[in-house]
A = this chain, B = another copy of it.
């Protein structure tokens, strides 16, 4: 019974996601759905990205949070359009919640729409929001076992960001173990080894997302 309900929920989510995707493509807006554990550094990545690419691209952000607008307040200084979705207990965003807030953006004046999903490695990977692609983020302090323990997200992701690499010396994180699990799950996925606080490794990420915007425009 619960499996049937879940299938209905996912089917309805998929239909709305397809609508959202078409609307964004008509408006030339790339949407990236950023997924990680709580505190892995999603908002920090958006801060660094707005600083570096804020003049090159017109960036918008949808902030998904159980409650509070703390992450949105951190991004206000970049003077970009931000909409907060509070799930009030929900552990993921769905395409209906995205569809409802898209009207608050001027899509004609947007190049990239980042969705910062609710901090959670599980359900966000199961719900298509109509995004162009998903991004998986994980921080070294969470341990090297995350791809193996949460394979769906790492299989679904178009790129993986490994954050807090500056803290590796203070942890027992094994890069070899992380990399070999990731290779097994999604061998060809680009991996960016970054530190949002130390500012390292970010240039490769900025170049990659810039290329994604270019190839998205050619494709659609």
Contacts and interface: CB of A to CB of B under 8 A. Distances in A.
Contact of A149 (B70, B90, B126): B70
Contacts of A119: 37, 121, 149
A52 interface: no
A65 B122 CA distance: 11
A186 interface: no
A89 B155 CA distance: 13
Interface in A101-159: 118-123, 126, 139, 141-143, 145-146, 148-152
B142 A38 contact: yes
B38 A121 contact: yes
A90 B152 CA distance: 12
A123 B34 CA distance: 20
Contact of A9 (B2, B65, B126, B164): B2
Contacts of A91: 91, 120, 122-123
A122 B89 contact: yes
A220 interface: no
A19 interface: no
A23 to B, nearest CB: 24
Nearest to A40: B142
A180 interface: no
A27 interface: no
B38 A150 contact: yes
A65 B151 CA distance: 12
A38 B39 contact: no
Interface of A: 2, 5, 9, 37-40, 65-68, 70, 89-91, 118-123, 126, 139, 141-143, 145-146, 148-152, 164, 166-167, 170-172, 197
Shortest beta-carbon contacts, A-B, top 10 = A39-B142, A141-B141, A91-B122, A39-B143, A37-B38, A37-B37, A91-B123, A68-B149, A38-B121, A38-B142
Given A90-B122, A91-B123, 17 more contacts: A37-B37, A37-B119, A38-B150, A39-B142, A39-B143, A39-B145, A39-B146, A66-B149, A67-B151, A68-B148, A89-B122, A91-B91, A91-B122, A119-B149, A120-B122, A139-B141, A167-B171
